[in-house]
Amino acid sequence: MCKYIDGDDMYYLKIYFFYSILGHLVESIVNPKVPSGILYGYWSPIYGIGVMLILLIYHMIRKRTLSRQKRIVYLFILAAVIISSIEAIGGELIELFCGRVFWNYENQLFHFGKYTSLRMGIIWGISSVLLVYVIHPFLKPLIRKIPDTLIVVLASLLVVDFLITILHLKGLIL
């Protein structure tokens, strides 16, 4: 185990990297013509962040004395709103800083600007409920088995990837 990060913190980094890579893989399969993110590595950090936020939301909801049905409804609504907001802000930031548009929902009914829509909010809400109640409980034992050393290597590579991306965007490297 890494002596600077205790086991619980390392577990959250494992979740982050696992879902960043899984999200990149799924997005590459679902939409192979559009690049998954602006980084060079085989990851999309926004998925890792999104999953961690969804799990945090779930843990906050779980602390309340609510029926399972109410927890599911609250999780669905909160995740739909929060993840859609992240999607909208992320799309705007990528366009602002990179001059690129990776997705555009203006052709969908009930779109909110270019980067999110009611349809995507519903998809994020359903995905979040499935993640919390089906996917993550199934994958949790696998995630826990990821070697800490691999996470340290991935974290180092991610920092390098961010630096190269920034230098490239600034025109300092090709």
Q: Give the model confidence (pLDDT) of 98-112 as tens digits.
A: 788 878 888 988 988
What mean pLDDT do residues 3-7 have?
A: 46
Cβ neighbours around 23 below 10 Å, total: 21
User: Residue 86 — very low, low, confident or very high, per pLDDT cuts 50/70/90?
Assistant: very high
Q: Identify any residues that bridge with 111 across adjacent strands, giving them in sequence order.
A: 117
Q: Look at residues 113, 95, 132, 105 and name the one whose alpha carbon lies nearest to residue 31.
A: 105
pTM of the model: 0.85
Domain assignments of the chain as residue spans, ordered by start = 16-169
More confident residue, 174 or 117: 117
| Average pLDDT, integer, range 84-113 | 87
End-to-end CA distance of the chain: 37
8: confidence class by pLDDT, cuts 50, 70, 90: low
Task: State the Cα–Cα distance between residues 36 and 42, nearest whole angstrom.
Answer: 9
Name the average pLDDT for the chain: 88
Burial of 4 (0-12, 13-18, 19+ CB in 10 A): exposed
